[in-house]
Amino acid sequence: MPTEPSHFSDYRESRFQFCPECGGDLVREQISGRLRLRCRKCGEVHYENPFPAVALVCRNERGELLLTRRAEPPSVGEWCLPGGFIEVGETVQEAALREFKEETGLDGRLLGVIDVASRVNGYWGDVVLIGFETEVIGGVLTAGDDASEVRFFSSDDLPEIAFDTHRKMIEVIRQKEQGRS
């Protein structure tokens, strides 16, 4: 019989208590080898999926990495890549460029996907992060949205990065660059 992922015992309580279809109570039951929410009244199964998010790795002409200092939870005051959640009605690419502009004041061009990473049971619940390599094509460097500060850092002088998924994207880019030289 399939078992729950090892993180399940630490999994946050569901954000949902009532069925959006009929208003009935939701209960956790074993369905297809996993604990899932099912409505007691109408029987509808409600899947709890990870939140999709984007992060952008951008270097200037000196090879310095663009980071933002967080102004909102989680990790207020810590540094991370520009990025955020994909909103309903926008593509992954639109979300990436929107977040880049909102947090940095810069217009960007996506050069390609770096990698995809997962964060299980984080502050917001499970998150799937799509990392993009990005270049600046305009704008003025200005902290905005949920960033209190934005600046470029030398590779030798990076501050502690708030999120493990962001550290992974930075490491993938470093390895890629080392392979080019």
Annotated catalytic residues are: 149
C-alpha to C-alpha distances, 174 to 28, 59, 133, 180, nearest whole angstrom:
43, 11, 12, 10
Question: From CA 112, how far away is CA 132, in angstroms rounded?
Answer: 6
Question: From CA 142, how far away is CA 48, in angstroms rounded?
Answer: 36
Give the tokens for residue 25.
């109570």
The total number of residues shown for the chain amounts to 181
**Residue 62 DSSP symbol:** T
Query: How would you classify the pairing of strands 65-70 and 51-58?
Result: unpaired
